[in-house]
Structure 1
Amino acid sequence: MARTPLHRWWRPILGTLAAVGGFLIVSLGLVMAAWTVATLARLPLVMSGDRMFVDPLLDLGFHLSVIALAIPVVYGTAWAIQRRPPGTLSSVLGRLRWNWLALCLLVAVAAVVLGQLAEAVTLLLTGMDPVYGWAGWETFLPPALVILVLVPFQAAAEEYMFRGWIIQAFGAYLRNPWPGILLGASAFAALHGYTDWGIAYVFGFGVLMGWLAILTGGLEAPIALHATNNVAAFGVVAASGDLDSALQQGELPWQSVVGTVVQFAVYGGAVVVIARRRAIRSLSR
């Protein structure tokens, strides 16, 4: 998709640098805007490490919004540097295929639920408590609204950057998609704070999303699972009332591998079968 008649060897390289630089600039702009508004409104700030607001809900919304800014940055980079329609980042049709995305969302919900159940059962069988808490509707509803509104954009932004841009940038040079898939998955894993089994999980997630993007000719399948998975993960935290830990990443128990395998197998297998039966186009014309 990036190898258009205007393609030159330097465009993907310059575009990558521009995308990274542009994201840093707009992120800094949002930080300054949020700081200004918070100061005028006398909202308590932390400004320490990756934490900005004392209120965990405001802090979560701020971080999700920052990541979502990658979407216009990558779109602008494709248009300005590669001189191609930004919609070609979405799929081989040059746009997001909404019907296909909706179908993938249904499959993603089933896969995430089955994965969570498999992990919970494995934890119970090995003598560990799955630790699903409930703090009440008053505590749950405000963050749930923020999560439902912002997480889909945050998940889509990561897919546009790591699967859309990186895979297509490499695709301008190489016929084989796997170097781009593996590089995108490595960058995706490196920018998360997981350790031990968590590293394997997030890297495997990146590989699966890259493979599905190539197989289905677009980002709809990756966005659907990424958004559903993140909504579920943040939702569980919001339900427990421990929103301070929503952005914390680290070690995952080995039992989570069982849930991961179930989720990946159900989603990947179902998407492949449905895409073939519906003849989802994977190549541009």
Structure 2
Amino acid sequence: MTEKNKISKFITFPTTFENYKWYKPILVFIVTAIMYLILNGIITLIFYAIFGQNMISSIVFGGYEVMNTEAGQIYSDLGIIIILPALYVATKVIKDRPLSSYASSRGGFNYRLYFKALLIPIIIYVIFEIINIFTVGIKGTNHFSIPFFIVCIILVPLQCISEEFAFRGLIMQSIGSWVKIPVLTIVIQAIIFAALHGYNNLGVLIIFISGLVMGFFAWKTNG
């Protein structure tokens, strides 16, 4: 599989591959969904074997409150992380383009830009938390543990990466390959991104804005 152009606009990148057909993104989505259901079933069976039926019921039907528990957080993260291997299998089955093309149209990861972009929100977050502690104080019960902290360091980034492959990669690039209008594509994927997060009205609005911002940066930075 070869590319027609070395660097292309990220949103319409799928169309630069020789094997591209308009229907292939749909096939990739279908295979990804099937693989996701299989992997999710395996994870659910593992959690059932370890924690029992009551734990599974509380995780599945407990809403977002279940993420306040260690098992619930791990289950929720894994439920998103498995999108990545599911998408990988789909790309191999459909043979449309490599998995890496869902993350970048420049041929690699821009580490320099990433760490520059990471520094600003970290500074803002630290300042916000310091102000919050001094004005509101520390509330709730501290359940901090080193092992679970390590688990979060591993799982949370993988969860975020999987979401980006799904929304800014599979969904946004697929729509972009059809409509070929970047701004419209970014808005559509942001709507889908917000709709699949079952928050309240304010939460959905925040997710929608986040989807717009992340879609814009993926477009402008080619990945």
Give the TM-score taking structure 1 as reference length.
Answer: 0.63
Determine the structure 1 residue equivalent to 2:99.
Answer: 86
* Change in 2 beyond 3 A, CA 1:54/1:203: closer
Inter-partner Cα distance in structure 1 for 2:35 and 2:188: 20
Compare the two structures and name the one with the higher helix fraction: 2
Q: Secondary structure at the match of 1:2?
A: helix
Offset at residue 210 of structure 1 (A): 0.5
Instruction: Pick the aligned partner of 2:139 from 109, 133, 143.
Output: 133
For residues 179-201 of structure 1, give each alpha carbon's deviation from its aligned partner in whole angstroms, at most 9, with x where no partner exists.
33222212221221211221211
Q: Secondary structure at the match of 2:144?
A: helix
Offset at residue 93 of structure 1 (A): 2.6
Determine the structure 1 residue equivalent to 2:89.
Answer: 76
Contact 2:48 2:56 in 1 (8 A): no
Instruction: Pick the aligned partner of 2:214 from 189, 209, 212.
Output: 209
| Range with bigger deviation, 48-57 or 187-196 | 48-57
* Change in 2 beyond 3 A, CA 1:131/1:17: farther
Determine the structure 2 residue equivalent to 1:2.
Answer: 14
* Change in 2 beyond 3 A, CA 1:20/1:94: farther
Inter-partner Cα distance in structure 1 for 2:33 and 2:117: 29
Structure number with the bigger relative contact order (C-alpha 8 A, sep ≥ 6) is 2
Determine the structure 2 residue equivalent to 1:224.
Answer: none
Inter-partner Cα distance in structure 1 for 2:205 and 2:67: 32
For residues 106-158 of structure 1, give each alpha carbon's deviation from its aligned partner in whole angstroms, at most 9, with x where no partner exists.
2331243456678x59xx9xxxx75642645xx21344333222111111111
Determine the structure 1 residue equivalent to 2:7.
Answer: none
- The 5-angstrom pairing of residues 1-285 of structure 1 reads 1-3=13-15, 4-39=17-52, 45-48=55-58, 49-51=60-62, 56-113=69-126, 120=132, 130=136, 132-133=138-139, 135-136=141-142, 139-142=143-146, 143-218=148-223
* Change in 2 beyond 3 A, CA 1:54/1:133: closer
Q: Secondary structure at the match of 2:57?
A: strand
How many residues are aligned here?
206
Inter-partner Cα distance in structure 2 for 1:114 and 1:174: 42
Structure 1 residue runs of 5 or longer lacking an equivalent are: 219-285
Contact 1:64 1:150 in 2 (8 A): yes
Contact 1:38 1:45 in 2 (8 A): yes
Inter-partner Cα distance in structure 1 for 2:19 and 2:136: 54
Q: Secondary structure at the match of 1:91?
A: coil
Structure 2 residue runs of 5 or longer lacking an equivalent are: 1-12
- State the Cα RMSD in Å: 3.0
| Range with bigger deviation, 151-160 or 28-37 | 28-37
Inter-partner Cα distance in structure 1 for 2:174 and 2:214: 16
Offset at residue 215 of structure 1 (A): 0.9
Contact 1:27 1:69 in 2 (8 A): yes
Amino acid at match of 1:26: L
Q: Secondary structure at the match of 1:193?
A: coil
Determine the structure 2 residue equivalent to 1:251.
Answer: none
Inter-partner Cα distance in structure 2 for 1:116 and 1:209: 23
Percent identity between the two aligned chains: 24
Inter-partner Cα distance in structure 2 for 1:95 and 1:35: 39
Offset at residue 64 of structure 1 (A): 0.8
* Change in 2 beyond 3 A, CA 1:100/1:170: same
* Change in 2 beyond 3 A, CA 1:114/1:205: farther
Amino acid at match of 2:87: V
